[in-house]
Amino acid sequence: MINLILFGPPGSGKGTQAALLVERYQLVHISTGDLFRNEIGNNTPLGLQAKAYMSKGELVPDAITIGMLRNKVETHPEARGFIFDGFPRTIAQAEALNQLLEEEGTQVHALLALQVDDHEIIKRIKLRGQTSGRSDDMDEKVIQNRIDVYKNETTPVFDFYAHLGKSHRVEGIGSVPEIFDRLCHLIDAIDQRSALRIH
Ligand code: B4P
């Protein structure tokens, strides 16, 4: 089993790359952003709560996010591994994920951090905002807040896994296939080193 965290600032390409990695390695993809958007689309109480935070570019509170993630993981006992996309975004979420995976007899094997500068991120998100219908992609103030929240609340998660020797930086600028290749090289090296046998 291999469990990977796809990490990086908003709009760094986590969702884009996760979709390709899932195909290549046959892992279960869990995107907390997608799960929240799904709840919002279905007008559920959880969706209503999440919407209030997401529309401002704030993080949804840990208790809500962790509960939702746990439910999702538990619906996939057959998984040969997970790609966590957009989770964990706080130290509390990272600690909860470690505990959850420990209960399942497994662990986080690597955090892959896409490196993309602010200028490129803002360009990408605004471009997506023209078609995504996502209110958090359209307002430059909200986009800037998402970047600030990432820097203040989420970057400590990189250090949390770096202390465990599990954080890796990956250049996130380039074409989608180029970045995919970089990620695959890294994952294959981690696989070989730890004899996880994901192929
Ligand atoms: P997310 O859904 O995680 O949104 P994101 O960070 O914008 O997405 P991502 O990095 O996946 O970008 P993508 O591949 O789409 O979070 C949204 C909100 O949900 C958060 O702000 C927060 O409120 C809430 N939330 C989610 N998880 C949470 C958690 N754990 N705790 C609390 N709150 C949480 O790429 C972006 C764009 O770039 C796309 O248009 C894509 O086509 C383009 N692109 C991708 N790769 C490219 C490349 N190589 N070159 C050029 N363009 C590229």
13 in contact with ligand 1, CB cutoff 6 A:
yes
Q: How many CB atoms lie within 10 A of CB 119?
A: 8
| 199: pLDDT strictly greater than 60 | no
**Can you tell me the mean pLDDT for 160-167?**
96
**Can you tell me the mean pLDDT for 159-165?**
96
Q: What is the mean pLDDT of the chain?
A: 94
How many helices (H) and strands (E) in the chain? Answer: 9, 5
CA dist 174 and 171 (Å) reads 8
124 in contact with ligand 1, CB cutoff 6 A:
yes
Q: Which domains does the chain have, with CATH numbers?
A: 4-27+79-198 (3.40.50.300)
CB 155 within 8 A of CB 10: no
| 196: pLDDT strictly greater than 80 | no
Residue 186, helix vs strand vs coil: helix
| 194: pLDDT strictly greater than 80 | no
pLDDT for residue 129: 92
Nearest CA to ligand 1 atom 23: 54
Instruction: Show the CA angle centred on residue 65, arms to residues 59 and 71, nearest 5°.
Output: 165
pLDDT for residue 191: 87
User: Per-residue pLDDT tens for 107-157?
Assistant: 999 999 999 999 999 999 999 999 988 888 999 999 999 999 999 999 999
Question: Checking phi first, is residue 98 left (phi over 0); if not, alpha (psi -120 to 50) or beta?
Answer: alpha
CB 70 within 8 A of CB 64: no
CB 108 within 8 A of CB 177: no
**Which residues are CB-contacts of 176 (< 8 A; sequence separation ≥ 6)?**
13, 16, 17, 20
89 in contact with ligand 1, CB cutoff 6 A:
yes
ω into 177 cis (within 30 of 0): no
* Amino acid identity, position 123: K
Six-digit token string for 145: 């807040």
Nearest CA to ligand 1 atom 52: 124
| 1: pLDDT strictly greater than 90 | no
**Which residues are CB-contacts of 161 (< 8 A; sequence separation ≥ 6)?**
5, 94, 108, 110, 111, 167
Six-digit token string for 63: 């208790």
pTM of the model: 0.93
User: Per-residue pLDDT tens for 18-41?
Assistant: 999 999 999 999 999 999 999 999
